Structure 1
Amino acid sequence: MTTTNVKIVRDSDPATEIFAAFIYALMYAVVGAAIAVHWALLFPMISLPIAAAVTVSVLWGWPFGVGVAGIALAGIMLWRLRRPEMFERWVTRRARTRFLAWWRYRARWNRKLTACGLAIIDGDATRIPRLLSVAIGEHSDRVRVRMLDGQCPADYDNRTSHLCHAFGALDCHADLAGPGVYDLTFRRSDALAETVILPRVDDWTKKEAA
């Protein structure tokens, strides 16, 4: 008796593939637009001059748009030179904290939490504790986490060493912040290791003598 295997090949519908590609492109466009609007609202001192330059280019031509962009760039550089503390607070520090929050935690959160044993495997699905917020500090970062159902505070207290090494910190401390919410504090540098220049003792004696 001879057995014959028959393989049925179904031709995909080109219209279906085109429609699926269009949906994916639309989704990426919406996500990209949302991210662009988010950053524009965070840094209006940068986004408004760019919007003005683009608008002028469309209405009156690109040479005028380039002129507006040059004036805006000169104003931003003058602001940075004349008021460095204000520029640091409103531009540099905000951009730095958001980039570090993404680079240190958000970009690799799922993979690191899974490696540290804080994920829960439920059949074919993997549940990861939700990252609620990230606060970047000068010497330490605070990460707020939503615990998964079935987890207890001891699960995080016993994993601080794993989390410390996973995220490249010097130390990790876990605190219960509320029902089902945990704060993870990652120490990035030693504040006491910085050199502090003290005034000369003879300066004090001169002031007292005067």
Structure 2
Amino acid sequence: MFKKLPGDEAQHLVTTTPDTAVVFRPAVLHTPAIITVLIFTWRLLAGLIRVIWRHPIAAIVVAVPVVTWALYGWPWGLGLVALVLVGLTAWFFLARASFLRWVGWRLLAFWRRIWVYRRHWQPVMIVSGLGRRIHGRDYLPRLVHVTCTSWADLVTVRMLTGQCVKDWADRVDHLAHGFGATSCRVSIARAGWLLLIIPRHDPLATPLPAVPIPDEATVGPVEIGRCEDGTPWKLKVHGTHVLVAGATGAGKGSIIWSTIRGLLPAVRAGLVQIWALDPKRMELSFGRTLFGDRYAATPDACADLLEAAVAVMQERADRFAGLQRTHTPTTEDPFVLVVVDEVAFLTAYQSDKGLKLRISAALATLTTQGRAVGVGVLAALQDPRKDVLSIRNLFPDKIALRLDESEQVDMVLGDGARDRGALADHISPIPAQGAGVAYVRLETSPDPIRVRAAYVSDADIRAMAEAVTA
């Protein structure tokens, strides 16, 4: 019957032909060719201006040889290119650090922005759920800027309106594997903007030798290893308390002994006293001569030593009251660092309830009142659960070495630490690869920092003890 009908007239037609197909042709507006040409020309010019604005150095590198070629001929243009290449090569070999800072990392960032991130941005955003496809149109977070360092790419992203940091933190695995990396961390750049830290390689994959003993006597921060960005890891012990949590063989001893090694000149100068509690009788016993009579191994001796530290703290508090609010180490009032190797044995696994109460009360008193008068606590444990150490929130600075479960990461570093990239449960159990590797969350920053403590061997410890004895 009728094969093509316009508009709504089809509803008034009745046909007995079963195979009749009603076809509707949408209205087509023919755009003049000149308008189409103008639109594409405008887009080309806008894109060219945007590239020149965002990448001025790359634009100059391309434009200068081309202009020289056009004005003076190809020999001059080719000679200019050769001269620039020779100069860059000489700069690379003579001053590699400055070359990488001003040229190398910028070129690498330009390349990775185009080839890695811009190329895969749409599929990664859509598949991970960070982008939205509405009525056939993709709404994607904006890739703002890419900066390269010696070990990672720093990708600045502008979130979609209505997104939050947790939306990205929950998808760090998608982002890492989508861009060909092993991990990804998320931090806040400013309101509505995020910074994705995507490592290209692991600078902490190999063990670090013991840090040299400082020449000057200092109470900190003391250098005990390296951060992921290559800077020294300096641990603050004076004016704070530090909790170190990690499974067996994770490297708690590396942190403890590296800290003692950094304080050694101050110990010899009388500005620092280290009080050691070693219930396992294994770790701290190697340097027992470093501690003198301030060493305890049995539960009774540990309780007595902790209560003696409380007495020192309270005596100082009585003298400092109304005179000073902070502590300055002197030979008369040195900084006292109480080191507890396995605090869980004393607070949770101790069978004597009386000793357990004494130890828990002394630790709680020290961690709540000791900072202002120069008494700090450095405690290490394997199990970070609340029923094992009920006062873990009294430690402002926390260090998470390799942990067995993902839930333990937030127990040690606080809620949301694992979502921000503190994958302590993914640290390798192989000693050569993962011993000493940790994530640190400081009192002043919610973002975890990946670090590795230097390994202090038995020979290093014996040499330290002999130096103090001598």
Q: Deviations over 1:31-55 (max 9, x none)?
A: 5643674588314355323312211
Task: Please report how far the alpha carbon of residue 20 of structure 1 lies from its aligned counterpart in structure 2 after TM superposition.
Answer: 5.0
- Indicate conservation of the 8 Å contact 2:120/2:179, yes or no: no
Match of 1:41 in 2: 56
Q: 2:84 aligns with which of 76, 96, 101?
A: 76
**Alpha-carbon distance between aligned partners in 1 of 2:183 and 2:108, rounded to the nearest angstrom:** 22
Alpha-carbon spacing, 1:67–1:168, altered in 2? closer, same or farther (3 Å) = closer
Q: What secondary structure, in the 3-state scheme, does the structure 2 residue paired with 1:193 have? A: coil
Q: 2:71 aligns with which of 32, 44, 55?
A: 55
Match of 1:95 in 2: 107
Alpha-carbon spacing, 1:194–1:45, altered in 2? closer, same or farther (3 Å) = farther
TM-score by length of 1: 0.70
Q: Please, which moves more after superposition, 99-108 or 85-94? A: 85-94
**Alpha-carbon distance between aligned partners in 1 of 2:174 and 2:3, rounded to the nearest angstrom:** 56
Q: Are 2:176 and 1:176 equivalent residues in the alignment? A: no
Q: Deviations over 1:167-191 (max 9, x none)?
A: 1111011112222222211122111
Q: Counterparts of 1:1-210 in structure 2 under 5 Å?
A: 2-5=1-4, 16=31, 18-23=33-38, 25-27=40-42, 29-31=44-46, 33-34=48-49, 37=52, 41-43=56-58, 44-45=60-61, 47-56=63-72, 65-84=73-92, 85=96, 91-193=103-205
Match of 1:206 in 2: none
Higher relative contact order (CA 8 A, sep 6+): 2
- Indicate conservation of the 8 Å contact 2:126/2:133, yes or no: no
Q: What secondary structure, in the 3-state scheme, does the structure 1 residue paired with 2:108 have? A: helix
Task: Please report how far the alpha carbon of residue 121 of structure 1 lies from its aligned counterpart in structure 2 after TM superposition.
Answer: 4.0
* Matching residue's letter, 2:4: N
Alpha-carbon spacing, 1:133–1:78, altered in 2? closer, same or farther (3 Å) = closer
**Alpha-carbon distance between aligned partners in 2 of 1:32 and 1:101, rounded to the nearest angstrom:** 16
Aligned length: 186
Q: Deviations over 1:106-139 (max 9, x none)?
A: 2221221111111234444332112222112222
- Superposition misfits of 4+ residues, deviation over 6 angstroms: 7-13
Q: What secondary structure, in the 3-state scheme, does the structure 1 residue paired with 2:166 have? A: helix
* Matching residue's letter, 1:178: R
Q: What secondary structure, in the 3-state scheme, does the structure 2 residue paired with 1:191 have? A: coil
Give 5+ residue unaligned stretches, structure 1.
57-64, 197-210
Percent identity over paired residues: 24
The structure number with the bigger radius of gyration is 2
Alpha-carbon spacing, 1:128–1:73, altered in 2? closer, same or farther (3 Å) = closer
TM-score by length of 2: 0.34
**Alpha-carbon distance between aligned partners in 2 of 1:180 and 1:39, rounded to the nearest angstrom:** 21
Alpha-carbon spacing, 1:3–1:42, altered in 2? closer, same or farther (3 Å) = same
Alpha-carbon spacing, 1:194–1:123, altered in 2? closer, same or farther (3 Å) = same
**Alpha-carbon distance between aligned partners in 2 of 1:99 and 1:173, rounded to the nearest angstrom:** 21
Alpha-carbon spacing, 1:194–1:98, altered in 2? closer, same or farther (3 Å) = farther
- Indicate conservation of the 8 Å contact 1:140/1:185, yes or no: yes
- Indicate conservation of the 8 Å contact 1:40/1:47, yes or no: no
**Alpha-carbon distance between aligned partners in 2 of 1:191 and 1:177, rounded to the nearest angstrom:** 24
Alpha-carbon spacing, 1:102–1:46, altered in 2? closer, same or farther (3 Å) = closer
**Alpha-carbon distance between aligned partners in 1 of 2:193 and 2:116, rounded to the nearest angstrom:** 20
Give 5+ residue unaligned stretches, structure 2.
6-22, 209-470
Q: Please, which moves more after superposition, 110-119 or 70-79? A: 70-79
Match of 1:207 in 2: none
Q: Answer 1 or 2: which has greater helix percent.
A: 1
- Indicate conservation of the 8 Å contact 1:130/1:147, yes or no: yes
Task: Please report how far the alpha carbon of residue 164 of structure 1 lies from its aligned counterpart in structure 2 after TM superposition.
Answer: 1.1
* Matching residue's letter, 1:83: W
Give the root-mean-square deviation of aligned CA atoms: 3.4
